[in-house]
Amino acid sequence: MTAAVLCFSVDDGHPLDMRMANLLMKHGVQASFFVPSRNSEGQPVLSPSALRDLSGKFEIGSHTLEHRYLNRLDMHEALRQITEGKRALQDTLGKPVQGFCYPGGKYRAIHCGMVQAAGFRYARTTQNLRLDVECSPLELPTTLQFYPHPRTVLIRNFIAQGHWHHRLQTLELLLEEPHWLDRLRRLFAWTVRHGGIFHLWCHSLDLERLGLWQALDRFLEEAVEWIPCERRLNNLQLVTRYCNGIPDANAGFQIIR
C-alpha cells in the first residue's frame, strides 16, 4: 500500500479561481484547473492573462471549448468541443495542454477515444468515493467534491456511477458521519492511516456562494500536516506517477481495511 497522496482539481475556470490559487499556494498544495474557453452556461471565465499567470504555478487542463456536456452533442460537435478546446487553450498558454475533464462528468466510451485521439494524456471524471486510480487515465476518478452534499446524494451517486467494489467501503465510512465536513475529515484520516489517493475537487463559485472558503482553508491546513510536499500532486503528476504505461487495472491501489 502506497502512502497517502493528496490530489486537487478545480473545475470551470471561474475568475474566483485566482482566489483558490492563492489559498492553495498558501498551503503548498498542487492542483489542476480545468478551464473552458467560454462557458455556455453563462458564467465568466478567467482572462487569457490570468490563465497564463495561473499556468506558471498550476497545471491547466481543458474542460471543452464551451463547457458542453458531451453526451448531449452529436459526434461532430463533441469532437469539435474536445479538439478546439485544447487548441484554444494551448494558443493562450503557449504550451501543450495534456489534461482534460468531462463537463458535468457526462461522457460515453466514444468520447474517451476522441480525447485520446486529440492528444490528451488523461481525462478526469466526476466519479467519487475512490481512493485508487485503477490505472485508467482516460477515466480518472476522484474521492470527493468539496461541497455539502447530503447523504442521499452520496448514495444516489454511488448507485449511478458503478465500480461498487472500489467504492462501497468509502461510502460506508462516510455514512457514519452526519455532517459533510466531518465525513471529509474522517475519510481523509482513514486515507492517511491506510494509504491511497485522496482526490478532492471543487468549483470556486460554489465556495463563494456557500461561504466555504474558511472551511477549505482549515481543511488544507490540517491536511498538509499529514501529507508532505512530494505527495501533494496535480492530476498530471498523479497520472504520470501511478497510471502511465500500466494497462493492468489490478496494478492500481486496492483499499485494504
Min separation Cβ 125 and Zn ion, Å? 12
Q: Compute the radius of gyration of the chain from its Cα atoms.
A: 17
What gap in Å lies between CA 202 and CA 122, rounded to an integer?
Answer: 19
C-alpha cell at 239: 497520472
Alpha helix stretches (DSSP H) within the chain: 17-26, 48-55, 75-93, 109-117, 151-161, 164-175, 180-194, 204-210, 213-226, 235-242
Q: Residue 198 — φ and ψ, nearest 5°?
A: -100, 100
Which residues would be at the binding site for Zn ion (CB under 5 A)?
11-12, 103
> Around 110, how many Cα atoms within 13 Å sit in the side-chain half-sphere?
10
| Closer of 199 and 231 to Zn ion (Cβ) | 199
Q: Is 58 helix (H, G, I), strand (E, B) or coil?
A: coil
Q: Based on CB atoms, which residue is closest to Zn ion, 181 or 205?
A: 205
* Comparison of 104 and 148: residue with beta carbon closer to Zn ion: 104
Which residue number, 59 or 132, has a Cβ lying nearer to Zn ion?
59
- Pick the closer one to Zn ion by CB: 12 or 17: 12
**Smallest gap from residue 63 Cβ to Zn ion (A):** 6
Coil, helix or strand at residue 30: coil
- Least distance in Å: CB of 213 to Zn ion? 19
Which is closer to Zn ion, CB of 12 or CB of 59? Answer: 12
Cα-to-chain-centroid distance, residue 69: 16
Least gap, CB of 126 to Zn ion (angstroms): 9
Q: Which helix (H) or strand (E) holds 81?
A: helix 75-93
Torsion of CA 242, 243, 247, 248, to 10 degrees: 30
Question: To the nearest whole angstrom, how small is the minimum distance from the Cβ of residue 145 to Zn ion?
Answer: 11
Residue closest to Zn ion, measured at CB: 11
The minimum distance between CB 192 and Zn ion, in angstroms, equals 29
